[in-house]
A and B are shown apart, each in its own frame.
Chain A
C-alpha cells in the first residue's frame, strides 16, 4: 500500500466550477498534512497546511481533514485558468520522520 494516494486525474473543470481533489494516507499516526501546487516546469508551492479534523479555508481554497478515515481533500472554488497545475498532497510519516508525497493530481480549468 502506498503511503499517500491521490485520485490520479487528470481533472478537467470549467472556469468558475469547484475542483475537488482527494488524498488518502496509510500512517494512522500522521498529524500534519499539506497541499502543494506545482506548475509545469516549476517547483512545488505551498497552498495550505492542516493539522486538525474539519475544514480550513484560505481564500478560494478549502482543505478538509478526517483522521478517522485517513482522508484529506482540497476544494478549489470558483476555479480559474491560473489554477491549472498539478496538486500534491503531502503527509508526515511519523514512523520514518519524513514527509511523503502523493503522485499528484493534474487539474485543467477550461475557460
Chain B
C-alpha cells in the first residue's frame, strides 16, 4: 500500500505571501492530522480532519486553516506568512478519527519563509 504523500516537498516563500500544502492519506484512511515541527517547539498539533469536517484544532492563529475533500485528501493553508512559520509541516493519516488511532506520517513539506 502506498504511504502518505505530501506536496510540495520544499517551498520558499516571502513574508506576507500565502501557501497551500497538500496531503494524500494512505488508501482507506479517513482521518488526516497536520503538525508543525520546529527545532524550538518540536511537533505541535495543528488540526485534524475526518469526513471533511475539522474535528479538532491546536493552538495556532487563524492564519492556519485546512480542509478535507470527499476522497480524504487534505490541504492546509497559511496566509500572511511570517518568518516564524518556517518549519517542517507534517501530515499524518489514520483509519479512524481520534487520538487513539495509530497515525502514519508523510515525508513532510519543508517551508522556508524569507
Residues of A with C-beta under 8 A to B107: 42-43
Asked if A88 and B100 make an inter-chain contact with CB atoms under 8 angstroms apart, the answer reads no
Asked if B43 and A98 make an inter-chain contact with CB atoms under 8 angstroms apart, the answer reads no
Please, what's the 1-or-0 string for A31-45, where 1 marks a CB less than 8 Å from any CB in chain B? 110101000001111
The verdict on A103 contacting chain B, using a C-beta distance below 8 Å, is yes
Comparing A11-19, A62-70, A76-84, A89-97, the segment that makes contact with chain B is A89-97
Asked if A44 and B43 make an inter-chain contact with CB atoms under 8 angstroms apart, the answer reads yes
Closest to B106 in A: A43
Residues of A with C-beta under 8 A to B99: 32, 92-94, 96-99
Asked if A88 and B104 make an inter-chain contact with CB atoms under 8 angstroms apart, the answer reads no
Q: A43-B107, A44-B90, A45-B105 known; A98 and B100 CB under 8 Å?
A: no
Per the bound structure, the CA–CA distance linking A45 and B88 in Å amounts to: 15
Question: In residues 57-114 of chain B, which contact A (Cβ within 8 Å)?
Answer: 58, 88, 90, 98-100, 102-108
Max chain B CB contacts within 10 Å: which of A36, A42, A44, A45?
A44
Closest to B97 in A: A97
Per the bound structure, the CA–CA distance linking A46 and B58 in Å amounts to: 22
The verdict on B42 contacting chain A, using a C-beta distance below 8 Å, is yes
Asked if B104 and A97 make an inter-chain contact with CB atoms under 8 angstroms apart, the answer reads no
The verdict on B15 contacting chain A, using a C-beta distance below 8 Å, is no
Asked if A34 and B42 make an inter-chain contact with CB atoms under 8 angstroms apart, the answer reads no
The chain A residues found within 8 Å of chain B, CB to CB, are: 31-32, 34, 36, 42-46, 49, 88, 92-94, 96-104
The chain B residues found within 8 Å of chain A, CB to CB, are: 33, 35, 42-45, 48, 55-56, 58, 88, 90, 98-100, 102-108
Known: A92-B99, A99-B33. 7 other contacts (CB 8 A): A43-B105, A44-B105, A92-B98, A98-B58, A99-B45, A99-B99, A101-B35
